[in-house]
Structure 1
Amino acid sequence: MLLTSDVQDSVKQALANMTESVTVKLFLKPGEESSNTMRELWGELQALTPKLIIEESESVPSGMDASQMEGAVSEVWQNGTFTGVRYLGIPSGYEFGPLIETLVEVSRGDAPELSESVVAWLKKLEKPLHFQVFVTPT
């Protein structure tokens, strides 16, 4: 068991705020330790709410190639649509809270609010834009 009973209680309370089901597509790399850990973590989270659906695959996620996949990859989907949220490896420590918040926000249809100037800038993009967000304590 990865999550202590205290953590399970806190997470269960947070996940109780989910309104719709969320699917996590878990892409596993056979023989990779992080794949085993992620399978266990998602199983424990799924046991805390009926609104979390886990789908496992040993293929490579769309838009990635095998060289980018060093371990498990978790994608968050809503109503059959990829939300653009992808976790590489194990979201632990400071990454765990945002993971739980993401599940709740996606289930509720909460989208981040963007200023009009940002929306206008995004509409002017002519090529795909790739960016990554790293969660760190500093």
Structure 2
Amino acid sequence: MAILSDQNRGDVEEVFAEMTDEVTAYVFTDDCEYCEDTVELNEELAELSDLYTLEVHDLDSELAEQYDADRYGSGPVTILTDGELEGVQYFGIPSGQEFGAYVRDIVAVSTGETGLDDDIKAELAEIDEPVNIKVFVTLTCPHCPRAVETAHKFAMENDNITSEMVEAQEYMELSQEFGVQGVPQVNINDHDGEFTGAQPEPQFLEQVKNALN
């Protein structure tokens, strides 16, 4: 049975029409609960645009090691890339409330257009050290996609930034380690910075800069 409804497919095709360059989704799987669904979801998306390609790899593969996709010990892990970009990452199935953000991320990776203000882009360009942003979400949270998209936009603008959507219930041990009680919870370089809520892009960037200082 298909995951996407006819309405979903029509909506996605309309958004995918904005794509300009090829995007590949590397999906890393093991025997996790949502791995098959994540693969099937991306297979259906790949049917909707010749510019969107899916590659499925084992979580214990060399490619997974290259992208450090196995760092939390389980799948599914999805990395969207234009061939160079590595920092747009999903730990957990990008469905529910996150589905729209996932589709928009695909288009943004394809076009290279994040929609961020020029002053924010300029400040992001000045970051010259590694930054990891974790955005803990649940698939029923209506505010989480905004936080995920902002974090991923930052990663698209600066290769020093890796931004992860982490589905809190699929990665329960990690959520417990970071004391997740409400979502979206954003952690910057693990415990150097932390806040809860989908903050506007300028405030989100300030949180990142404060964590680096």
* TM class, shorter-length: 0.7 to 0.9
Cα distance 1:71–1:121, how it changes in 2: closer, same or farther (>3 A)? closer
Which structure 2 residues correspond to residues 1-138 of structure 1 after superposition, within 5 A? Answer: 1-29=2-30, 31-58=31-58, 59=61, 60-64=64-68, 66=70, 68-78=72-82, 80-113=83-116, 116=119, 119-120=122-123, 123=126, 125=128, 127-134=129-136, 136-138=141-143
TM-score by length of 1: 0.82
Ranges in structure 2 where 5+ consecutive residues have no aligned partner: 144-213
Partners of 2:22 and 2:110 within 8 A in 1: yes
Tell me how far apart the structure 2 counterparts of residues 40 and 34 of structure 1 sit (CA, whole Å). Answer: 10
Shift of 1:123: 2.7
Q: How high is the sequence identity, in percent, across the aligned residues?
A: 29
TM-score by length of 2: 0.56
Shift of 1:121: 7.2
Higher relative contact order, structure no. (Cα contacts within 8 Å, ≥ 6 residues apart) = 1
Shift of 1:66: 3.4
Shift of 1:55: 1.3
Aligned length: 135
Deviates more, 1:38-47 or 1:5-14: 5-14
Tell me how far apart the structure 1 counterparts of residues 24 and 71 of structure 2 sit (CA, whole Å). Answer: 25
Shift of 1:102: 0.8
User: What RMSD in Å do the two structures reach over aligned CA positions?
Assistant: 2.4
